[in-house]
Structure 1
Amino acid sequence: MTQNYIGTKLITAWEEIASKNTGTSKTGDPGYAVKYSDGYISWSPKAVFENAYLPIGPDEPTGFIGHDVVEDFIVSHEVLSTDDSVTVQATLVNQIVIAQTVEKASLTTFSSGDWAEVAAQRASQLIEAEVTKHLTFLLACAQNGISFPQIKDEDIEFSDMDTEEIFDEE
């Protein structure tokens, strides 16, 4: 049976011109050589590769998402202000929109008149932290895989708790 899969992997790649006709690519087409963790090397057309892989840089330590990567992942910001709050909406390269709101009352120190700027900066920092968290999760999946251990019914231990007590409505 055919199935769809989501995959993540940490690879090393470099730009390389196709040396032969493969699939829809012709000799001389731009692309990337891709080296996988097991040493296998393949080739991918430029557009396909750049749509599938996020560069984290040659010097980034494994397990680390740099600030530049986070900034590049955020395509645009929109700031929406009211008298009492500021909301920043950020659109990511994958078209996901993340929003954070900072209330004027939550700011303890600001000079008169600039609270909205401080709130927008704080909301942007919260968005960057959220994007960092998501990209770190993605990197961890690429490094560690996403296979789930097979759990058998006999391996599951149930407590002596009465399940009817858990689900009783009050």
Structure 2
Amino acid sequence: MNSTTTPEAPEMTKHYIGTKIVMALAMTRLAYNEYRGWDLPADENGADEGYLVEYTDGGAPNHPSHAGYISWSPKAQFDAGYVAVGDIGHLPPHQQRVVAELEQLSDRVTKLEAFLATPLYASLPDDEQQLLKMQADAMVLYMGILNTRAAKFR
């Protein structure tokens, strides 16, 4: 391969779902690069909205002002992958996980309930519709249990 040839992207064959609790601060791509002391690459848009993301549950710190590993994430990708859980840093890790699980479940229940009102749902076979309704009911019950647990330490 010479310097003008673009390498082929590797084939992605595995799928993953994230479960980390992170801290994030809204920050443009340019502001993040300036914060890191880097020049913005010529082919990147400094006005891109996004977040400085700090991972506090693993990874060596890579900036002297942070206890965890930091990176920048575009807003659309961050918003699609994370649900806000509020200020939970004062809670021990096992309680943080309960609050995070509750917020994720609440988000999923809201999305499932919205789906149940769509034409696509109405077009599904009756047995699949019934299973989705049962799933929603079970999720709401589970959410009630998590709410009761979280209320004890919030």
Report TM bin, short chain.
Answer: 0.3 to 0.5
The normalised TM-score by structure 2 is: 0.45
In terms of fraction of residues, the more strand-rich structure is 1
The normalised TM-score by structure 1 is: 0.42
In terms of fraction of residues, the more helix-rich structure is 2
